[in-house]
Amino acid sequence: MSEIKKIGVITSGGDCGGLNAVINGAARMAHHLGIEICLIPNGYAGLYNLENLIPTMIDAQRADRINSEVAGSEAGHSRVKISKIKDPNKYEKIKAGLKKHNIDCLVIAGGDDTGSVVVDLITKGINCVHVPKTMDLDLQSYSVGGDSTINRISKFTADLRTTGLTHNRALIIEVFGRYAGHTAFRGGIGADADCILIPEVWVDYEVVYQHFKKTYLQRLLSSDVKGSTYIIVAAEGVKNKEGKYFVDDSSGSDSFGHQKLTGVGSFIRNQLEFYMKKDPDWEIILKREGIYVEDIYMFPEIREIALGHLVRAGETSSYDVTFGKQAGGGAVLLLTQGITGVTVVGVEADVVTYIPTKDAIMQRYVDINEIEFFESLGVCFGREPVEYLPKFQIQEGIIHRYM
């Protein structure tokens, strides 16, 4: 690649924490190297329409106004898959837009869908480097947004425990994650959830019910004010014991063809209520404890709560600010070396690590062996617990590992 004079920055896909840190890191590294840098607004929709847009130049003053601690993206997003645009001249149009604004190459932050477009653009001669961004944490490398999302899931879930205890309710907290359960798993553990349901474990609802009943009643019977609760954190892509997703057919698909997974919280509630209303123990115990009221309070209430975009919004964790700046700046450094079509893995001291984007966007799932440890601590994962059999070894050398 010839000498780079100007870089364009795109953020794409779902919003999350850390994206403004990516922009900030890329901008400041470009300034350090004497390279111009600009924002292309609204993701791939903006890239496609670049001939008719004026990109926002990020000079030192503009970079100073980008708050890395704020989630979301100053550049804006869109869910657009370039290859699905019907215009047969779409790639030539994109190249013409880049040429018009003298943009030599691109830094593109996004998840697996965004990364698949990066792979596509590279094959068409459009030079770019991918910064991994997904709150789902399902890429092969750590991705901007994961830590922020886990912290928010934990915080909201812990906060909701107070309303559960006040009303003696069981709560089902539904969170994003699509086909991988990393955020539900880590966020649920962080909030001391009683039960965590993830796509990687096919759920037997009778097992969940028995764990709920035992845990809820233990708390009720040991409380001097007859208070109890039970907390489930469930990924939106939970499967039943036949391995099938719960799918609300009315939810439709997104622009990348993914079925929108919504409503699993109400499905889980219905499953628990089915078993609970057949169980005579509730009437016996609640009457004995002075809680039972005929036709009004015969069973604990179960409520589902979808955290939705709250886990994407608000603040960015310090880890994601740090990683975002490193990844954004690292992407610029890779471009200056003519290294394109790759995903930034990280920056450790004076080493910028990367892997081919086609490899980075292969989905990564929760390691089932890892949940056995937490099953031994009493957390239910919707199956009969598997005995945890640890191995022991001394760690040699220094390893940096996040999740």
Residue 90 CB neighbours (<10 A): 16
- Full 3-state SS string of 234-275: EECCCEECCCCECCCHHHCECCCCCECCCCHHHHHHHHHHHH
Q: Of the residues 136, 138, 147, 194, which is catalytic?
A: 136
Indicate the residue type of 283. Answer: E
Give the tokens for residue 32.
Answer: 């350090």
Residue 34: is it exposed, middle or buried by C-beta count within 10 angstroms (0-12/13-18/19+)? exposed
Which CA distances in Å does 392 have to 118, 123, 386, 388, 389?
41, 46, 19, 13, 10
279 is catalytic: no
Rounded to an integer, what distance in angstroms lies between the CA atom of residue 318 and that of residue 195? 28
* DSSP symbol at 191: T
Opening angle at CA 346, ends 343 and 352, nearest 5: 85
Q: Are 12 and 108 in contact (CB under 8 A)?
A: yes
Which residue's entry shows tokens 């009943």? Answer: 213
Rounded to an integer, what distance in angstroms lies between the CA atom of residue 323 and that of residue 347? 8
Rounded to an integer, what distance in angstroms lies between the CA atom of residue 136 and that of residue 114? 14
Q: Are 114 and 108 in contact (CB under 8 A)?
A: yes
| Per-position b or e across 293-329, b if 16+ CB within 10 A of its CB | eeeeeeebebbbbbbeeebbbbebbebbbbbbbbbbb
Q: Are 173 and 305 in contact (CB under 8 A)?
A: yes
Residue 132 CB neighbours (<10 A): 30
Give the tokens for residue 255.
Answer: 């622009």
Residue 147 CB neighbours (<10 A): 26
Would you name the residues annotated as active-site residues?
A: 136
